[in-house]
Amino acid sequence: MTPSGGVTVRVPAKVNVQLAVGAARPDGFHDLANVFLAVSLYDEVTATPADELTITCEGPDADKVPLDRTNLAARAAELLAARHGISPDVHLHIAKDIPVAGGMAGGSADGAGALLACDALWGLNSSRADLLEICAELGSDVPFSLVGGAALGTGRGEKLTELPVGGAFHWVFAVADGGLSTPTVFAEFDRLAEGAEIPDPTASPALLDALRTGDTTALAAALTNDLQPAALSLRPSLAATLTAGTDAGALATLVSGSGPTTAFLAKDAESAEAVAAALIASGTCRTARVATSPAPGAIVLPSA
């Protein structure tokens, strides 16, 4: 519930249904064809007036969330305030449900959430374009956290084209013990790709069709993640989680983004529940969560 005088924003997690990675660029980033799909796991960020910028966090993984200025929520408040020549005096409270450092854009969600919450709290009425520009400055995945739904991200993932989605998809996410650092996974991708010809990343027409028509079987056949070999190389135990999901009847399995969360596409809601229960029973993950997609982007929740 939003405390009086505060603004709460709800922001979704994402799974990358296609993550095509190009060669490393001179700036160290990689060009991507990154098909984002927002899923129904959410963080909530509440902004309330305060004497200075402070952050608190609640949730099962709250102890793993930095509460200093490295938190993307803090950086979002600072960037927005600097643009308007005001001081970022705000308390940000994060109710965290998205796995931390899990490849589901949890940190990016908090950045987008804080940005929208502060914009509303401070009555700035920033344009969508201004907010998206700040999001891109915060990180490659942050613009998508604001937009939600489904989108193709090009460049380093920040240039978005929204995509139509013709139906609901049912997912299970297996949460691993400990996170993986995104730069480390990209560095491992570079190491594994050394000497190989890396094609320019392009979105798969079959995948975009599957999204547009809401065809789960076709989407299952089209899921790809070029970072998956790198994530498995750094965390070989994820292979057993993927196998457990396949054995439990998932239509397709995938490492989510840079991992270590693994994603399982299920036929329907009932099958998703069965796959989640089997994954938990397998002992190959810390927990498993069901979610549906597409989910809406960041939204201000009505106040209490």
Catalog residues that contact ligand C5P under the rule CB under 6 A: 28-30, 32, 139-141, 156-157, 182-183, 186
Give me the catalytic one of 14, 96, 110, 119: 14
Strand-pair partners of 55: 92
Which tokens in the block code for residue 100?
């931390």
CB of 180 to ligand C5P, least distance (A): 11
Give whichever of 32 and 279 is closer to ligand C5P, judged by the CB atom: 32
CB of 54 to ligand C5P, least distance (A): 23
CB of 224 to ligand C5P, least distance (A): 16
In angstroms, the CA 300 to CA 298 distance is 7
Active site residue 14: yes
Give whichever of 94 and 278 is closer to ligand C5P, judged by the CB atom: 94
Give whichever of 126 and 140 is closer to ligand C5P, judged by the CB atom: 140
Give whichever of 29 and 280 is closer to ligand C5P, judged by the CB atom: 29
Active site residue 141: yes
Give whichever of 32 and 298 is closer to ligand C5P, judged by the CB atom: 32
CB of 176 to ligand C5P, least distance (A): 19
**165 in Cβ contact with 248 (< 8 Å):** no
Residue 277 burial (CB < 10 Å; 0-12/13-18/19+)? Answer: middle
Give me the catalytic one of 31, 97, 110, 141: 141
In angstroms, the CA 180 to CA 146 distance is 23
Which residues, in sequence order, are CB contacts of 255 under 8 Å at separation 6+? Answer: 103, 225, 227, 228, 231, 232, 238, 242, 261, 262, 263
CB of 168 to ligand C5P, least distance (A): 28
**109 in Cβ contact with 295 (< 8 Å):** no
**Dihedral sign of CA atoms 292, 298, 299, 304 in order:** positive
Bin 123: left if φ > 0, else alpha if -120 < ψ < 50, else beta: left
Of 166, 141, 138, residue with least CA distance to 153: 141
Catalytic residues: 14, 141
